[in-house]
Amino acid sequence: MKHVNDKIHFGSRAFTLVEILAALTIGTMVLIVVLAIYSRGQAGASAVVNKLESNRLPREALQRIAEDLDSVMSAGGDARISIENKFQDGFPVAKMEMTRQISDAQGQAQPFEKVVWQSSIEPDTGLLALYRSHSGIALEDKLLDDQKEPWQRELFVPICAGLTFFRIEIPKGEEFLDKWAEEKPPTAVRITMSFAEPYKTVTGVYDVPEQDKFVRTIAIDRTRKPAFTIPVFDVNQLMDANRFSDANRPANVNNPAGDQEFPGTTE
């Protein structure tokens, strides 16, 4: 019996170890470059989103405060506001309390609506958090507040965290007051807040750069009628219409008004 050994011949040879290592090295380098480009793009997109979010949150908080001021303080003479600023662990914090009262059948004043905005240090992060509280007879959400007890409505709700600067001031002329306890509400309030990285000043308190502060001046009771003052002029001090000044002649230093007489005439 005759055995025939069949030999199989391949048209191409296999890859060597060196070629495989070279291909793996080139592929790894290309993958690293692609991942680096993707990582840089993702970091840039995250920076843009964080920048937009950092601007959106302060604007929304300031708008919410402005809405509360319009809602409570535009009611009339029964509305009161108190403002206080201080430092807590070196951070500027503030508290603003707005109240509106009504009289019951016995003539006793009852809190119809009370809104409190204040900032405080968070023990976990060491930064500020902004809180809001709403209470009184007027229900903010009739569906939810009607099911709550009176003490539950006075609980503070966190609005935002991570604040590094929060201050409420009252403009008065060219100065700004940091406290208000008068019965008559101020004409406006200026609210400043920031989420930027703070730095410690020489006085030992924290501050942020001016360009990183969000500032908004809110008028109180914008529906009131402003008082206009019309200046009164003395007619006798106005220039005499029968006199004129010659623009081609130099002014007389003894006559600053530039009044000149007709040539050839004397008084």
pLDDT value, residue 92 = 95
Answer whether residue 212 is part of any domain.
yes
What is the rounded CA–CA span in Å between residue 181 and residue 147?
A: 34
Give the closest residue to 162 by CA, choosing from 132, 191, 118, 193.
193
Residue length of the chain: 267
pLDDT surpassing 50 at residue 60: yes
Asked if 72 and 101 touch (Cβ cutoff 8 Å), the reply is no
Summarize pLDDT for 156-196 with one digit per residue, the tens: 889 999 899 999 999 988 899 999 998 888 999 999 999 99
Answer whether residue 172 is part of any domain.
yes
Answer whether residue 84 is part of any domain.
yes
What is the rounded CA–CA span in Å between residue 57 and residue 113?
A: 26
pLDDT value, residue 266 = 47
Number of domains in the chain: 1
Q: Which residue has the higher pLDDT, 231 or 63?
A: 63
Answer whether residue 124 is part of any domain.
yes
pLDDT surpassing 70 at residue 72: yes
Answer whether residue 34 is part of any domain.
no
* Parent domain of 187: 53-219
3-state secondary structure 223-253: CCCCCCCCCCCCHHHCCCCCCCCCCCCCCCC
Tokens 């016995």 sit on residue: 106
State the sign of the Cα–Cα–Cα–Cα dihedral 13, 14, 19, 24.
positive
What is the rounded CA–CA span in Å between residue 198 and residue 154?
A: 31
Answer whether residue 254 is part of any domain.
no
pLDDT surpassing 50 at residue 14: yes
What is the rounded CA–CA span in Å between residue 160 and residue 195?
A: 10
CB proximity list for 97: less than 8 A, separation 6 or greater: 81, 82, 83, 114, 115, 116
Give the closest residue to 54 by CA, choosing from 198, 190, 196.
196
Would you place residue 137 in the very low, low, confident or very high pLDDT band (cuts 50, 70, 90)?
A: confident
Answer whether residue 237 is part of any domain.
no
Q: Which two tokens stand for residue 99?
A: 């109240």
pLDDT value, residue 244 = 46
What is the rounded CA–CA span in Å between residue 132 and residue 71?
A: 15
Tokens 């001046």 sit on residue: 217
Characterize 23-62 residue by residue with b for buried, 16 or more Cβ atoms within 10 angstroms of its Cβ, and e for exposed: eeeeeeeeeeeeeeeeeeeeeeeeeeeeeeeeeebbeebb
Q: Which two tokens stand for residue 46?
A: 């995250």
Q: What is the reported pTM? A: 0.63
Answer whether residue 262 is part of any domain.
no
What is the rounded CA–CA span in Å between residue 21 and residue 30?
A: 14
Would you place residue 84 in the very low, low, confident or very high pLDDT band (cuts 50, 70, 90)?
A: very high
